[in-house]
Chain A
């Protein structure tokens, strides 16, 4: 079982993840857009960049209504990526199995604090999703599966913190592989699509002189 998860399943998951993401991004870009015959009032490229950046902060009118999502969202996403890229076992894994080079990982105490922040953020976001009538109405199974899967991946990773029990490490790796297989077919793709999506919107409206 350990060999299967460390070996074939890992390569399968990696293949599904990479090819799935490439295929989805390719199909999005290939769809293209209709030729825009309007007279440009503003540079589409500048607006694309501006909108991509501006969307990191909510619009003034929205901010008091989504304070929880904003704070918890940043807690979760920043925490998650700090863990993904700077946790010591992850750096070691990337160095040994994928990249061949590594970088300075964060110290153990920072790992703990970061994961606490990320957990709190994810939990708050999901609770908001199910407790707010609107978000509950517009959430489907994919949203919940993605949230739970991400939570389980983070949880198993943190349960394996002692780094001495093979069973716990393999469990974490198994859940990661599940997540990687699920990833391209779900809204988790927003990790790759959010910038193109913002840029598209920004370009589309910017060309028409709309402040979006």
Chain B
């Protein structure tokens, strides 16, 4: 069975936030909830890196471990999902999650959190695949249609990869090998062409003399 994973290539991510928007649109999540976000570290200074983060579908998920009503389950594809009919909106999963994935609609003041919402790897919920009930509660179920999550499918720089862990890591491994040690530079230039190629075109940039 596949073991679904996300992998974000920090050398490629350009913080365009298209994955965030695509996710919101595809899953029709309510206001105030973002299942995916892009975090930029050292914004504006050399060494800046961006990563697109959502639920990482952990093999040993802390959210599932702390949930007082035990509403999480892992699908055969290794996707961590939860049952909104059982969730009581306590917020514990958010406190345990390293990635800040669980989101809560705060409809009012005084801790009135609604039911938790998080990235489903576009795999819906416990309801029948692609039922209207499932769509209303969890958004789309692209996996059942044989498609991958939309955030990764439409990533313009192919920074965000989604799919079986083996496949995804093979793609990433290839990239790293191809890049060599060019991680000395930052930004997207390295990701798309060999430094030698750029020198020939007079677009050397910071990678000049490093091949």
Contacts and interface: CB of A to CB of B under 8 A. Distances in A.
Direct A–B touching in the complex (beta carbon < 8 Å)? yes
Given A162-B88, A162-B89, A108 B110 contact: yes
Contacts of A108: 107-110, 112
A164 B109 contact: no
A161 interface: yes
A108 B108 CA distance: 6
Count class of interface residues, chain B: under 10
A62 B68 CA distance: 51
B106 to A, nearest CB: 10
A26 interface: no
Contacts of B115: 164
Interface residues of A, number: 7
A107 B89 contact: no
A112 interface: yes
A6 to B, nearest CB: 20
Contacts of A161: 112
14 contacts: A107-B108, A107-B109, A108-B107, A108-B108, A108-B109, A108-B110, A108-B112, A109-B108, A109-B109, A109-B110, A162-B88, A162-B89, A162-B112, A164-B115
Interface of B: 88-89, 107-110, 112, 115
Given A107-B109, A108-B110, 14 more contacts: A107-B108, A108-B107, A108-B108, A108-B109, A108-B112, A109-B108, A109-B109, A109-B110, A112-B110, A161-B112, A162-B88, A162-B89, A162-B112, A164-B115
